[in-house]
Chain A
């Protein structure tokens, strides 16, 4: 299996503050990889480094080719969909318009895709013309996923999909993520605080600590070592 995404010694800063001190990781095509760690460890920053929404240095290769200095919109056009913390919903626009925006870079008929989206999220169809900002937090998260799906990305970057959601919804979200990966073949890189849940979906995981990779490996391994679980994963 080839690596779809490779990060090599990536550093990132917010102004004078350095958030990543050389992160290296790789994501195989078709896999689900989790990035775990405590608050402030640099998980969100890692995703931002990939989509180039933060100042970064080091090498990032997508499908073998370096991303270079492409602006964020160009990274998106390459087939990397970044669903940010805070969901990135266009609250002032309708649900349908949000979905259309998801498909912004796509050419051709979207009917089939729209139908698939509504198959995954049936309740979205009824709320088509509703202003996206009036949806609940959980619904907005689902909308974000739906929007991401419409992008038909090769790589989906998910930032804390479980944040602020009720447990029932969280399970649902992860179920959908797994389905998207298995049925649609979408490669997923998911950042999560909820390590337990993330490890059930991901095949590999990286644990970040203070902007560096502290630990990495297959999920079963990480889950099976109790000391690892206690120190790094919090359970």
Chain B
């Protein structure tokens, strides 16, 4: 499976990834801070990758960039917060939130997106912009803009391993992301629904002819994307310790950058792109003193722009022939 994945990627990209991996390994062995930042970067990158994966899922199926993906993730995190306020334990709230997120995503596609989809793709994009604002307003209205606090899912312990400090939170985030991605991959690879979804995304017309209910597949896709977003939101909150409405705005941009970096139609690319972005943002923040915290976003923008200009199809994408 991995072989098939990598065989589809161009040689230079493989080489690049390998070089990056070696670079990270050597750096981590030589410097503890390097190792720390790398691990923390992987954890953050896992979050960017999850949201990027959500974006790619929707884009692959419908050519729509869902600008509201981040806000939806933020809103579902607030829902988890509310459940916890009502006395539900963290992990129960976590899984309930995932289920609720799925329903919301599914419902949004059926009620709001589907009727507009037949008009034009950009009409849908504007709708997602409207949803962005709407969700933002709803959250502010219901919960206000002040900071909220949620319990730490993995505890506050920090492990020390050969001089490198790694928090349990980071490990938890990485593991959770891996599990989520693997489960999703298994769904697509081995189940009938997964195959139907892939067919619906690749060739909707041909899929209809074999009986795939394309519209429902798209709705499920949106549900899954919302679910992924919820995971990303919950992990972001855990990383930042506080919950506020602007939680996911920066993450959305990083997710865009990651998705583009990986290739907008490549799920694997989204995840890899996310992790790479997370690691390198951290390392650059650490070692390039000019790039302080506020410059992270502009830096991500620069990365995004650079990728779009040099290889718009991203690391894992195919070069699309532009029809003249």
- Closest Cβ of chain A: how far from B229's Cβ, in Å? 26
Query: B38-46, B146-154, B208-216, B276-284: which one contacts chain A?
Result: B208-216
Main secondary structure of the interface of B (DSSP, over half): helix
B211 and A51 form a contact (CB under 8 A): no
Q: Chain B contacts of A71 at CB under 8 A?
A: 208
What 1/0 mask marks residues of chain B from 177 to 211 whose CB sits below 8 Å from any chain A CB?
Answer: 00000000000000010011011001101111111
Q: Chain B contacts of A88 at CB under 8 A?
A: 203, 205-206, 209
User: Is A105 on the interface with B (CB-CB < 8 A)?
Assistant: yes
A104 and B212 form a contact (CB under 8 A): yes
Q: Chain A contacts of B210 at CB under 8 A?
A: 76, 81, 101-102, 104-105, 147, 151
Given the complex of chains A and B, what is the CA–CA distance between A50 and B213 in angstroms?
18
Contacts A90-B202, A90-B203, A93-B202 given; indicate if A104 touches B208 (C-beta within 8 A).
no
B209 and A93 form a contact (CB under 8 A): no
A73 and B211 form a contact (CB under 8 A): yes
- Residue from the list B192, B203, B213 in contact with A73, Cβ < 8 A: B213
A101 and B199 form a contact (CB under 8 A): yes
- Residue from the list B199, B211, B214 in contact with A90, Cβ < 8 A: B199
- Closest Cβ of chain B: how far from A77's Cβ, in Å? 5
A76 and B208 form a contact (CB under 8 A): yes
Given the complex of chains A and B, what is the CA–CA distance between A105 and B192 in angstroms?
10
- Closest Cβ of chain A: how far from B97's Cβ, in Å? 32
Given the complex of chains A and B, what is the CA–CA distance between A88 and B207 in angstroms?
8
User: Is A221 on the interface with B (CB-CB < 8 A)?
Assistant: no
How many interface residues does chain A have, given as a range? 20 to 34
A104 and B202 form a contact (CB under 8 A): no
Given the complex of chains A and B, what is the CA–CA distance between A195 and B195 in angstroms?
37
- Closest Cβ of chain B: how far from A185's Cβ, in Å? 21
- Residue from the list A53, A84, A89, A105 in contact with B211, Cβ < 8 A: A105
Q: Chain A contacts of B211 at CB under 8 A?
A: 73, 76-77, 104-105, 151
Interface residues of A in 189-233 (CB under 8 A from B): none
Main secondary structure of the interface of A (DSSP, over half): mixed
Contacts A101-B195, A104-B195, A104-B196 given; indicate if A51 touches B202 (C-beta within 8 A).
no
B195 and A73 form a contact (CB under 8 A): no
Interface residues of B in 202-255 (CB under 8 A from A): 202-203, 205-214
Residue on B with the closest CB to A52? B208
A101 and B202 form a contact (CB under 8 A): no
Q: Chain B contacts of A83 at CB under 8 A?
A: 209
Interface residues of A in 93-123 (CB under 8 A from B): 93, 97, 100-102, 104-105
What 1/0 mask marks residues of chain A from 39 to 58 whose CB sits below 8 Å from any chain B CB?
Answer: 00000000000010100000
Q: Chain B contacts of A76 at CB under 8 A?
A: 208-211
B212 and A92 form a contact (CB under 8 A): no
- Closest Cβ of chain A: how far from B117's Cβ, in Å? 15
Residue on A with the closest CB to B201? A92
Given the complex of chains A and B, what is the CA–CA distance between A53 and B206 in angstroms?
10
User: Is A4 on the interface with B (CB-CB < 8 A)?
Assistant: no
A51 and B199 form a contact (CB under 8 A): no
Q: Chain B contacts of A89 at CB under 8 A?
A: 206
Q: Give me 5 other A-B pairs in contact (C-beta within 8 A), A51-B209, A97-B198 excluded.
A: A53-B205, A73-B211, A89-B206, A101-B210, A102-B210
List residues of chain B with CB under 8 Å of any chain A CB.
Answer: 192, 195-196, 198-199, 202-203, 205-214
